[in-house]
A and B are shown apart, each in its own frame.
Chain A
Amino acid sequence: MKIRIRFNKTGAMKFVGHLDLLRYFQKAFRRSGFQMLYSKGFNPHQAMSFAAPLAIGYTSEAEYVDIGLEDELSEEEGIARLNANMADGIQITGWKTLEDNSKNAMSIVHAARYVVTLRESFGLNKDLFETVHNFISQDEILIMKKTKSSEKVTDIKSSIFEIKVLSENSLELVLATGSVLNLKPELVMEAISKYLDIEYKENTYAIHRIDIYVNDNDKLVSLYDTNL
């Protein structure tokens, strides 16, 4: 059976990177006694697919991993067995059986929602409400996007689906996520720094992911609720 698992990642666990998290879950499934389905091929490995990697330092309340199981497990038992084997800072919050022919999470991810909290060291020198209003009202928001092979100037405005100020030092972002369009929140913060004409420094803000969405008839639907 195909299962979508939802979990949160908080506290010290935010320092565990994506590849280590993958190994962590492989071992957690074994400790939980799950009969995992294995991929076929040269090097069989557990069939498992994360929706969207979470960068080191980010926290989240809704991360997703799809897995294949040989045995039938109820939601209650699946969650209970896994939670008995989790480290402090990761908790399983959802267990959803998927249709056998459903697409895996990674291929349908469209957007993600984040809350960004600025630390003092960010050096905010103007009112955040006003800043964000003016920032997003620009015709284009240009930023240098670096990839492994190249650097190019990109307009990120169309990848910012929503931007909302929550308090004098925090804002909420909904950003394009996935294989087609992908915008990392730190790029938005870099663009805001540039707009404010202050020096951009990494890690001067905390990022918390709220949820990950698919595009269902032009509506954002949580990966947990979608039937795609």
Chain B
Amino acid sequence: MQEGALLCYVIATNVIMSKLCLSDEILLNVEKPSRYIGNEINSIMKDKDSVEVRYALCFPDIYEIGMSHVGLPILYNLLNLREDTWAERVYSPWIDMSKIMREKKIPLFALESQEPIKNFDFLGFTIQYEMCYTNILDILDLSGIPLLSKDRTDDDPIVMGGGPCVYNTEPIADFIDAFYIGEAETNLDAIIDAYKEHKRQGKSRRAFLEIMAEIEGVYIPQFYDVEYKEDGTLKSFTPNKPCAKPSIKKQVIMDFTSAIYPDKPIVPFLQTVHDRVVLELFRGCIRGCRFCQAGMIYRPVREKDVETLKEQAKTLLKNTGHEEISLISLSSSDYTTLRELTYYLIDELGDKDVNISLPSLRIDAFAIDVMQKVQDVRKSSITFAPEAGSQRMRDVINKGLSKEDIINGANLAFKSGWSRVKLYFMLGLPTETVEDNEGIATLSQEIVNEYYNLPKQDRHGRLDVVTSTSFFIPKPFTPFQWFKQCTSEEFLDKQRVVNNKMNKRAIKYSWHDVETTLLEGVMARGDRRVGAAILEAYKNGCLFDSWTEQLKYDVWIDAFKKCGIDPAFYNNRDRDLDELFPWDFIDAGVTKEFLIREYNRAIEGTVTPNCRQACSACGLIGLGGGVCYEDKN
């Protein structure tokens, strides 16, 4: 009897140790079962009874994509540093798995504890691209959480959203209880503190949302009323509660060097998109390209001190065992001590067979020297992103890159052994003409010519030029937010112009999908009414819309029709400068005056100097730090 009891005990402990939510039979019948098991090196396990707050962090796409994201580990680390909180991860189950979970009524669970999300205090989404909105609904649905914020009860987690897409929250405003605008390092702690206090007092969900509404950077959609004019544009956007702020201030961590950084990031078992250590050189961008939302919303530029980066590089490599380290930022050539850092890493790590990757680098003599040291020249390619084919067009978009820069860069690269070139352009930019489109083919050809003009002994390998075009989508908080997006027909016409002009014997031409572009445009500048169509599309089977082979365009178009949404209203309409936008309640730092100035300069084709050349009074200087004060210390 006693022996038997002892045996049972031992078996039970084993079961607890390796308890997975899903049975072997399920896991062995899906693609890549290790997406669902957690247990990775550096993932954080806590005793659930010893914490007060449980937070599920979600990247609404599959594991391999979600695990490659740089932002989520920062939140994971911030929250788990608190003894009272356990943050766990959840990603979109792939279609094979979600089907089984639905059939067997298995609720979606977090990877670490393998426990249902529904029992958590918070479910926070990082929202990186517009085409993931149906995936957000799928996560909620699989978790057993009502899709609409208004239907949720005190038993449901608080559903939060953050990331670049929350600079226009409105299309998903019905699904999210609370948005956090800006960088989490500033006020995430305040939210958790407030929640703990609230939980102790046992007050309602609604009462907590009212408390949250007073925290800087937090936006609670249900506390605002929206009215529309007869022409469909916004008439008013007003708080309906005293706790709701008329304007929500973007949160910025000013001292980036001492910002808390995850020194033990999780090491996935699966090969993810980016399987490497990531060093963030700085946030923001000095360049001010007028199409680029990231360049506007992450202002001002704040660098991380080079000595700190050196230390972090060593720590991160030691704690993860990764073979590659990537230096990332929006424009790495603009990091003031890039040379020092790069040469230090090459000297320090070169003999340890650690690869160093430097995306977003301008191709010049320094870049070529570094790339020769850290990459296999035969295998790698060099990348240019002129974005536009003519100098006139590049001036309109404020892309400070001249034809000479590109040709000289290509020349240097060819002489140094490269023979593979990638070129990125956009089609459908404001004021664009046929000549600008043709310029894409011409510039590509000039790079080809540059190669063949070299004496034979200076050419290495077979020339391989790939020119890609994507379609321009105007985004909120950019000087182009007032411009119309091209119709699908206009886009395709432009693509045809490029294609006809392109010398396809020497250049491969590839393009972006026009259907995704139309949908993304509606999400990017949509208002609160668009949410109904997202819900309708989801209910009719739309999911993983960013995966071209999964996109059900016709279902989306039907959903728009059924909900009375005209995509052309959102996409193909030039807006007046005084139109009230659905995102105007957000104070993203850049002022409307600055954006209008830039809009006018774009039409004139006038270039605006970058932040280090001259201040353009964008509005961020008031924050008292970053690039705005670099010379003043």
The distance in angstroms between the C-alpha atoms of A39 and B446, with both chains bound, is 42
A191 at the interface (CB under 8 A from B): no
The distance in angstroms between the C-alpha atoms of A27 and B321, with both chains bound, is 4
A206 at the interface (CB under 8 A from B): yes
B342 at the interface (CB under 8 A from A): no
Q: Which residue in A23, A38, A44 is a CB contact (below 8 Å) of B271?
A: A23
Q: Which residue in B34, B41, B317 is a CB contact (below 8 Å) of A15?
A: B34
Contact A87–B18 (Cβ < 8 Å): no
Instruction: Contacts A85-B41, A203-B25 given; indicate if A24 touches B18 (C-beta within 8 A).
Output: no
Contact B28–A56 (Cβ < 8 Å): yes
With a cutoff of 8 Å between Cβ atoms, the chain B residues found around residue A12 in the complex are: 18, 20, 37-39
Contact A57–B318 (Cβ < 8 Å): no
Contact B28–A87 (Cβ < 8 Å): no
Contact B353–A11 (Cβ < 8 Å): no
A62 to chain B, nearest CB (A): 19
Contact A26–B38 (Cβ < 8 Å): no
B270 at the interface (CB under 8 A from A): yes
A-B contact count (CB 8 A): 78
Interface residues of A in 15-56 (CB under 8 A from B): 15-17, 19-21, 23-24, 26-31, 33, 38, 44, 56
In the complex, which residue of chain B has the Cβ closest to the Cβ of A29?
Answer: B321
In the complex, which residue of chain A has the Cβ closest to the Cβ of B270?
Answer: A20
With a cutoff of 8 Å between Cβ atoms, the chain B residues found around residue A23 in the complex are: 269, 271, 275
Instruction: Contacts A121-B25, A203-B28 given; indicate if A89 touches B39 (C-beta within 8 A).
Output: yes
Contact A88–B24 (Cβ < 8 Å): no
With a cutoff of 8 Å between Cβ atoms, the chain A residues found around residue B318 in the complex are: 31, 33
B27 at the interface (CB under 8 A from A): yes
Interface residues of A in 114-133 (CB under 8 A from B): 119, 121
B599 to chain A, nearest CB (A): 49
The distance in angstroms between the C-alpha atoms of A38 and B323, with both chains bound, is 13
The distance in angstroms between the C-alpha atoms of A44 and B353, with both chains bound, is 8
Instruction: Contacts A12-B20, A15-B34, A57-B24 given; indicate if A28 touches B39 (C-beta within 8 A).
Output: no
A141 at the interface (CB under 8 A from B): no
The distance in angstroms between the C-alpha atoms of A88 and B41, with both chains bound, is 9
Interface residues of B in 1-33 (CB under 8 A from A): 17-18, 20, 24-25, 27-29, 33
Q: Which residue in A13, A20, A88, A202 is a CB contact (below 8 Å) of B28?
A: A202
The distance in angstroms between the C-alpha atoms of A57 and B28, with both chains bound, is 7
Contact B18–A11 (Cβ < 8 Å): yes
The distance in angstroms between the C-alpha atoms of A27 and B20, with both chains bound, is 25
Contact B18–A10 (Cβ < 8 Å): yes
With a cutoff of 8 Å between Cβ atoms, the chain B residues found around residue A121 in the complex are: 25
B458 at the interface (CB under 8 A from A): no
The distance in angstroms between the C-alpha atoms of A40 and B367, with both chains bound, is 28
Max count, chain B CB within 10 A of own CB: residue among A16, A44, A202: A16
In the complex, which residue of chain B has the Cβ closest to the Cβ of A119?
Answer: B25
The distance in angstroms between the C-alpha atoms of A27 and B323, with both chains bound, is 8
A95 to chain B, nearest CB (A): 19
With a cutoff of 8 Å between Cβ atoms, the chain B residues found around residue A29 in the complex are: 321
| 0/1 string, B27-70, CB within 8 A of A gives 1 | 11100011011111100000000000000000000000000000
Contact B269–A38 (Cβ < 8 Å): no
B99 to chain A, nearest CB (A): 17
B487 at the interface (CB under 8 A from A): no
With a cutoff of 8 Å between Cβ atoms, the chain A residues found around residue B20 in the complex are: 12
With a cutoff of 8 Å between Cβ atoms, the chain B residues found around residue A88 in the complex are: 17-18, 39
A198 to chain B, nearest CB (A): 17
Q: Which residue in A11, A15, A38, A44 is a CB contact (below 8 Å) of B27?
A: A15
The distance in angstroms between the C-alpha atoms of A56 and B318, with both chains bound, is 29
Contact A17–B29 (Cβ < 8 Å): no
The distance in angstroms between the C-alpha atoms of A88 and B269, with both chains bound, is 12
Instruction: Contacts A202-B28, A203-B25, A206-B24 given; indicate if A16 touches B34 (C-beta within 8 A).
Output: yes
With a cutoff of 8 Å between Cβ atoms, the chain A residues found around residue B323 in the complex are: 26-27, 30
The distance in angstroms between the C-alpha atoms of A204 and B426, with both chains bound, is 53
The distance in angstroms between the C-alpha atoms of A203 and B22, with both chains bound, is 14
Interface residues of B in 463-511 (CB under 8 A from A): none
In the complex, which residue of chain A has the Cβ closest to the Cβ of B30?
Answer: A15
With a cutoff of 8 Å between Cβ atoms, the chain B residues found around residue A203 in the complex are: 24-25, 28-29
The distance in angstroms between the C-alpha atoms of A30 and B353, with both chains bound, is 11
The distance in angstroms between the C-alpha atoms of A57 and B37, with both chains bound, is 12
The distance in angstroms between the C-alpha atoms of A204 and B24, with both chains bound, is 9
A120 to chain B, nearest CB (A): 10
The distance in angstroms between the C-alpha atoms of A11 and B271, with both chains bound, is 20
The distance in angstroms between the C-alpha atoms of A33 and B321, with both chains bound, is 9
B111 to chain A, nearest CB (A): 10
| 0/1 string, B294-325, CB within 8 A of A gives 1 | 00000000000000000000000111111100
The distance in angstroms between the C-alpha atoms of A88 and B39, with both chains bound, is 7
With a cutoff of 8 Å between Cβ atoms, the chain A residues found around residue B275 in the complex are: 23
B116 to chain A, nearest CB (A): 18
B267 at the interface (CB under 8 A from A): yes
With a cutoff of 8 Å between Cβ atoms, the chain A residues found around residue B320 in the complex are: 27, 31
With a cutoff of 8 Å between Cβ atoms, the chain A residues found around residue B321 in the complex are: 26-31, 85
| 0/1 string, A86-128, CB within 8 A of B gives 1 | 0111000000000000000000000000000001010000000
Contact B319–A31 (Cβ < 8 Å): yes
With a cutoff of 8 Å between Cβ atoms, the chain A residues found around residue B27 in the complex are: 15, 57
Max count, chain A CB within 10 A of own CB: residue among B18, B34, B321, B322: B321
With a cutoff of 8 Å between Cβ atoms, the chain B residues found around residue A33 in the complex are: 318
With a cutoff of 8 Å between Cβ atoms, the chain A residues found around residue B37 in the complex are: 12, 15-16
| 0/1 string, B270-289, CB within 8 A of A gives 1 | 11000100000000000000
With a cutoff of 8 Å between Cβ atoms, the chain A residues found around residue B39 in the complex are: 11-13, 87-89
Contact A27–B353 (Cβ < 8 Å): no
A141 to chain B, nearest CB (A): 25
A150 to chain B, nearest CB (A): 26
The distance in angstroms between the C-alpha atoms of A12 and B20, with both chains bound, is 7
The distance in angstroms between the C-alpha atoms of A23 and B324, with both chains bound, is 13
The distance in angstroms between the C-alpha atoms of A85 and B24, with both chains bound, is 26
With a cutoff of 8 Å between Cβ atoms, the chain B residues found around residue A56 in the complex are: 28, 33
In the complex, which residue of chain B has the Cβ closest to the Cβ of A10?
Answer: B18
A202 to chain B, nearest CB (A): 7
Max count, chain B CB within 10 A of own CB: residue among A28, A30, A121, A204: A30
The distance in angstroms between the C-alpha atoms of A13 and B27, with both chains bound, is 12
Interface residues of A in 174-228 (CB under 8 A from B): 202-204, 206
The distance in angstroms between the C-alpha atoms of A11 and B38, with both chains bound, is 12
In the complex, which residue of chain A has the Cβ closest to the Cβ of B318?
Answer: A31
Contact B269–A16 (Cβ < 8 Å): yes
With a cutoff of 8 Å between Cβ atoms, the chain B residues found around residue A204 in the complex are: 25
In the complex, which residue of chain A has the Cβ closest to the Cβ of B26?
Answer: A203
With a cutoff of 8 Å between Cβ atoms, the chain B residues found around residue A10 in the complex are: 18
A84 to chain B, nearest CB (A): 11
In the complex, which residue of chain B has the Cβ closest to the Cβ of A201?
Answer: B25
A38 to chain B, nearest CB (A): 7
In the complex, which residue of chain A has the Cβ closest to the Cβ of B268?
Answer: A20
The distance in angstroms between the C-alpha atoms of A10 and B18, with both chains bound, is 9
Instruction: Give 27 CB contacts A-B under 8 Å.
Output: A10-B18, A11-B17, A11-B18, A12-B18, A12-B20, A12-B37, A12-B39, A15-B28, A15-B33, A15-B37, A16-B37, A17-B34, A19-B271, A20-B271, A23-B275, A27-B41, A29-B321, A31-B41, A31-B318, A31-B319, A44-B353, A57-B24, A87-B39, A87-B269, A88-B17, A89-B18, A203-B29
Q: Please name 17 further chain A to chain B contacts, defined as beta carbons within 8 Å, in addition to the given A15-B33, A33-B318, sorted by A numbering.
A: A11-B17, A12-B18, A19-B271, A20-B270, A20-B271, A24-B269, A26-B323, A27-B320, A27-B323, A31-B318, A31-B321, A44-B353, A87-B269, A89-B39, A121-B25, A203-B29, A204-B25
When A and B form their complex, which 9 residue pairs have the shortest distance between CB atoms, in order from nearest?
A27-B321, A11-B18, A30-B321, A31-B321, A15-B33, A203-B28, A12-B37, A16-B269, A12-B39
